[in-house]
Amino acid sequence: MPALKKSLLYFLLLCLSLVLTACSTVPITGRSQLSLVSPAQMQSMSYSQYDAFLKEHKVSTDRQKTEMVQRVGYRIQRAVERYFAAANMSSQLNGFQWEFNLIADDQVNAWAMPGGKVVVYEGILDVAQNETGLAVVMGHEIAHVVANHGAERMSQSLMAQMGGMALDLALHDSPAQTRALWLQAYGLGSQVGVILPYSRLHESEADRLGLIFMAMAGYDPAQAVGFWQRMSASSKNSNNLEFLSTHPSDATRIAKIKQTLPEARRYYKK
């Protein structure tokens, strides 16, 4: 067998081995996902980026709105922690340093990073309308985090662009390229906080988990339908809906949310 073919075969076998051994499971859905990056590594990079973002953006001085964001965030945080404890998965939240900040910006947007670092922009509060609407947004973003969607995208990038190299080795051998991959996994690039679109699979998964977590936190999950309908209506009248560039609001999504409501309602206690 020619040397080139042997090298290609070895590479493919290595990739197959990594796929078979480097997997984790998404909570609630049970889906297997590629995992070449440890939570500690993702959290470390997240915290430095989050701190940099806060230094470059103005935190809201509106006390009432800030308290609402933090109240909703902490309620969903506790719901997540209860769920993971009941499922004997609390270790998956090790190292989390939850933080919820409201940014003084009329952009309609919100996002979350590994380790529970969450940002909400003042502009999305008008669409949310109330605390329950805000819980739809924050539950969804926190679901992306606890489902390790960013780490999964980072792992896929390491596999595709760096041959499945471990993150610590990639950081040592190609620090600039690896940092770029991490930024791309969260869409941060040159504009920290501008999130690239998640896949349809990730979005659907975050919708489902987000409904369950908001329900466990005491918020009516049925209100998610109205929120996404308002987002859809707002998109026709505004050019400042950054949130919709990454979270498409369409009839299919709303239909799936309605299908998930019976499951979410089982967790709902007023």
Q: Where are the alpha helices (DSSP H) in the chain?
A: 3-21, 39-56, 63-86, 125-128, 131-146, 149-162, 167-173, 175-186, 200-216, 223-234, 242-246, 251-265
Is residue 244 within 8 A of residue 235, CB to CB? The reply is: yes
108: left (phi over 0), alpha (psi -120 to 50) or beta: beta
Closest CA to 211 of 146, 155, 261: 261
Catalytic residues, by residue number, are 141
Q: Are strands 32-34 and 23-25 parallel, antiparallel or unpaired?
A: antiparallel
Q: Which residues pair with 34 in a beta bridge?
A: 23
CB contact set of 191 (below 8 Å; sequence gap of 6+): none
Beginning with the edge strand found earlier in the chain, give each strand of the sheet holding 110-113 in spatial order. Answer: 99-103, 117-121, 110-113
State how far the Cα of 228 lies from the Cα of 172, in Å rounded to an integer.
43
State how far the Cα of 111 lies from the Cα of 247, in Å rounded to an integer.
11
